[in-house]
Amino acid sequence: MSGMHEIPVIEGDGIGPEIIDAGKTVLEAASDARNFGLDWHDLPYGADHYLETDEVLPDHALDELSKYDAVYFGSIGDPRVEPGILEKGIILRLRFEFDQYVNLRPIKLLEGVESPLRNRGPDDIDFTVVRENTEDFYVGIGGRAETGKTEAELEVERKLYKTKFGLDIETDAEEIAYQIGSISREGTERVVEYAFDHAEENDHDLVTGVDKANVLTDIYGMWREVMDDVATNYDGIDHEYDYVDATTMWFVKNPDHYQTVVTPNTFGDIITDLGAMLQGGLGLAPGGNINPDGTSMFEPLHGSAPKYAGENRANPTATIWAGALLLDHIGEEEAGELVLESLQDVIAEGETLTRDLGGDAGTDEFGETVAERVREQG
């Protein structure tokens, strides 16, 4: 694909502006090498904007973002702002408003990076987790009730459907708290199909479903029913199931077993952090929040690290890698592959590394080194 791609950018807080600058440098080198353009649209949303205006992410920003295929995102979080305000108001709002139902997480150990797993190398740790991103126990409904009778009405509203719960609660406990998780057949089917498509495109012959169907039988029993149905449409790809507690063991013991993993939202949140550690830490872990037919968002998994803001020491690897995922998403697969190959080469050579990888390079130097490698290989 060629032409001009317009990409909105939210740098966010802390180290966000620095890592995004490094990412832009690399992606621009890739666009020059593959003869297409990138037109960045920088948006101000984050802590500074919130403190100045008292708005987090206004409706007109969502209207503007809906015009684009992909958003390049830095990091969110600032000690001047109460935890949750920015995270819920920006990241979660984007996720739900744009129905980004896939969280795509490559778990890949790069050459030159040491995994905490002894005697494990890049050939052993190379799989993908596809996490459902809008349902499950993260639908955000629940409450509390005290001794006696209580009525409650709870509602889940998603782009795909709406659900209302009417509860008549009677308890003789002093106080109870409850949280409701729900999944839909449609929501499960589309993310499982995405996982099988991903497996097919990457020559994987195994998709592993991770759940807790032996205890939470209703919600994850349906998950398995749907996955079994979807699997019949994919010849040559086997599927299996692991309970989430066993998965945390097998990720450590036999990571080379896994190819494509698909899991509901709650468990995906847990096992992807474990996966990030297998590949060397959150600073090396990219993610994509994807709606294949709408606006998607690509970001590093790590936080904003405010104490390092402005010090030019943050590792931009996850942000550059997230940029490679973004390029792949907008149809520039060759450029995305070029970025990832160049990133891997620079880290493997070990001459220009950030402090967390044992070097002394700054954020900007590391980004420019990867960009130069892109230009050389392009």
Domain parsing of the chain, residue ranges: 3-113+279-377, 114-123+183-262, 140-180
CB 117 within 8 A of CB 277: no
User: What pLDDT score was predicted for residue 123?
Assistant: 96
Spatial separation of the C-alpha atoms in residues 26 and 16, rounded to whole Å:
16
DSSP element (H, E) containing 27: helix 16-33
Spatial separation of the C-alpha atoms in residues 339 and 27, rounded to whole Å:
7
Output the CA torsion sign for 245, 248, 254, 260: positive
At 270, give phi and psi (nearest 5°).
Answer: -80, -50
At 259, give phi and psi (nearest 5°).
Answer: -125, -70
Three-state DSSP state, 331: coil
User: What pLDDT score was predicted for residue 378?
Assistant: 83
Here the tokens at position 137 are: 């126990």
Q: Tell me the one-letter amino acid at 211.
A: D
CATH 3.40.190.10 fits 3-113+279-377, yes or no: no
CB 98 within 8 A of CB 291: yes
Rg (CA), the chain: 21
User: What pLDDT score was predicted for residue 144?
Assistant: 95
At 244, give phi and psi (nearest 5°).
Answer: -60, -35
Spatial separation of the C-alpha atoms in residues 290 and 296, rounded to whole Å:
4
Spatial separation of the C-alpha atoms in residues 190 and 148, rounded to whole Å:
42
Spatial separation of the C-alpha atoms in residues 319 and 10, rounded to whole Å:
12
At 49, give phi and psi (nearest 5°).
Answer: -65, -40
Name 300's bridge partners.
Answer: 286
CA 214 to each of CA 42, 220, 238: distance values in angstroms, whole numbers, following the listed order: 47, 8, 21
Here the tokens at position 273 are: 């952090």
Spatial separation of the C-alpha atoms in residues 299 and 71, rounded to whole Å:
9
DSSP element (H, E) containing 347: helix 333-349
Q: What is the pLDDT along the chain (378 residues), one digit of tens a residue?
A: 568 999 999 999 999 999 999 999 999 999 999 999 999 999 999 999 999 999 999 999 999 999 999 999 999 999 999 999 999 999 999 999 999 999 999 999 999 999 999 999 999 999 999 999 999 998 888 999 999 999 999 898 888 889 999 999 999 999 999 999 999 999 999 999 999 999 999 999 999 999 999 999 999 999 999 999 999 999 999 999 999 999 999 999 999 999 999 999 999 999 999 999 999 998 899 999 999 999 999 999 999 999 999 999 999 999 999 999 999 999 999 999 999 999 999 999 999 999 999 999 999 999 999 999 999 998
User: What pLDDT score was predicted for residue 56?
Assistant: 97
Q: What is the pTM of this model?
A: 0.95
